[in-house]
Amino acid sequence: MELIRGLHNLRPAHRGGVATIGNFDGVHIGHRRILDQLIAEARARQVPATVILFEPQPAEFFAPEKAPPRLMTLRDKVLALRRAGVDQVLCCRFDQRFRSQSAAQFVDNLLVQGLGIVHLVVGDDFRFGADRCGDFAYLVEAGSQHGFTVADTPTCEIAAERVSSTRIRATLQNGELDLAAALLGHPYAISGRVRHGDKLGRQIGVPTANLAMRRVQSPVAGVYAVRVNGGGLQGAPGVANVGTRPTVNGTDNRLEVHLLDFSGDLYSRHLEVEFLHFLRPEKKFAGLEALTAAIHADIDNAKAFFSQS
C-alpha cells in the first residue's frame, strides 16, 4: 500500500480508481463495511482502491481544544487500512485554504482533477464543502457531470445503535471494553515505542515499559488488565496505567505497562497494548508506600481476571 501525502504528490498511476473519504478513526466494523465495498468495486474494475484522509482531522482544525481524543494515530490508521486491503491512502492537509473550498471546488480539485475517480463510496452521513451543501445527492449529480458513479453504505448497528467512533469513545470512557471490542471488531489498543521514563517502577520493584503515546488526549484513562503484542511478545499479560501519575506530581499523559511474566529489556521496541478489563480509576495516593500497595493489588486483580478469562 502507498501513502500519498498531499495532492501535489499525485502521479498518473494514482488516478482512475475507486475512492472513499472520511476520518476512519478506529477503523471500526462500520468503517470496514465501507472498505469492503470499496475494495470489491476496485477489484471488479481492476483499479486502485483509495482512501482519502485529512490531517489534522477537521474537528481538530476547527476547535483543537474541544476535539475528541483520537482512537488511533495516523500511523496506526494507515497500518489498519493496509491490513484491510486498501491500495493507496491520500492524506490531505486540512488547513484554511482546504476548508474554504466550496462543494463544487472540493469535487473538482480532489475527485476529478486530482484523482480522476471512476467510482466513489461514502458513508450515509458524509457531508463536505465550506457551504456544507455537499452530500450524497450532490455527489450523484456531480458524478453524472464528471463521469463517476456514487454509492452509499447503510448504517451499521449493534444493539440497535449506530456504530461510530463517538460511540466507541463513550464506551471506553465508561470502562465498557467488551462493547468497545465488539464495535471495533477487536480489543481497543494503543501502540508506541518503549522509551526511557523516570524509572520509578523499577525503584519500587514493579518495572514498567513507558510507551510514547504521541497524542494530546487519550480515550482511555485509569488502570487496566492488558495484553501486549510486538517486540517479540505475543499476548503477554500485564497491567497498564494511563494518566498523569498524580501521586508523584506528574503532568504529561503516559501509558506505562507492567508485564506479569516477563523480565528483560524492552527499550526501543514497538509494542501494541490491548485493553481488556478496567480495574480502577487513577488516583492520588498519600505516598509511594500506598501507591506500591495499590499497584500490587492491581497486579493481583489482573491475575484474577486472566485466570477467569
Helices 177-184, 165-173: crossing angle, 10 deg rounding: 160
Give domain 187-308's CATH number out of 3.40.50.300, 1.10.150.530, 2.40.30.30, 1.20.1560.10. 2.40.30.30
> 187-212: string of b/e by CB count within 10 Å (b at 16+)?
bbbbbbbbeeeeebbeeeebbbbbbe
How large is the average pLDDT for residues 221-236?
Answer: 95
pLDDT at position 217 is: 86
Distances (CA, A) of 44 to 12, 48, 191, 202, 224: 20, 10, 35, 56, 44
Residue 250 pLDDT greater than 80, yes or no: no
One-letter amino acid of 302: A
CA atoms lying within 13 Å on the CB side of residue 238: 26
55/4 Cα distance (integer angstroms): 12
pLDDT of 128 over the 90 cut: no
Q: Which amino acid type is present at position 90?
A: L
d(CA 63, CA 141): 32
Q: Is 81 left (phi over 0), alpha (psi -120 to 50) or beta?
A: alpha
Whether the predicted pLDDT of 62 surpasses 80 = yes
Angstrom CA distances, 192 to 102, 159, 208, stand at: 38, 32, 14
Least trusted range by pLDDT, from 79-88, 119-128, 150-159, 244-253: 244-253
d(CA 248, CA 93): 39
Q: Provide the pLDDT for residue 246.
A: 84
| Superfamily (CATH H level) for 2-158 | HUPs (3.40.50.620)
Cβ contact 239:224 at 8 Å: yes
Tell me: the pLDDT tens digits for 179-198? Answer: 999 999 999 999 999 998 76
* pLDDT > 70 fraction of the chain, expressed in percent and rounded: 98
Backbone angles phi, psi at 245, to 5 degrees: 55, 65
Residue 74's pLDDT band (cuts 50, 70, 90): very high
What's residue 199's pLDDT? 64
Please identify which residue in the block is written with the cell numbers 492524506: 91
Q: Are the beta carbons of 211 and 192 closer than 8 angstroms?
A: yes
Tell me the pLDDT band of 104, cut-offs 50, 70 and 90. Answer: very high
159: left (phi over 0), alpha (psi -120 to 50) or beta: left
Q: Identify the bridge partners of residue 161 per DSSP, sorted by sequence position.
A: 158
Q: Please state the domain extents for the chain.
A: 2-158, 187-308
Per-residue pLDDT band for 130 (boundaries 50, 70, 90) equals confident
pLDDT at 42: 98
Give 251's pLDDT tier (boundaries 50, 70, 90).
confident
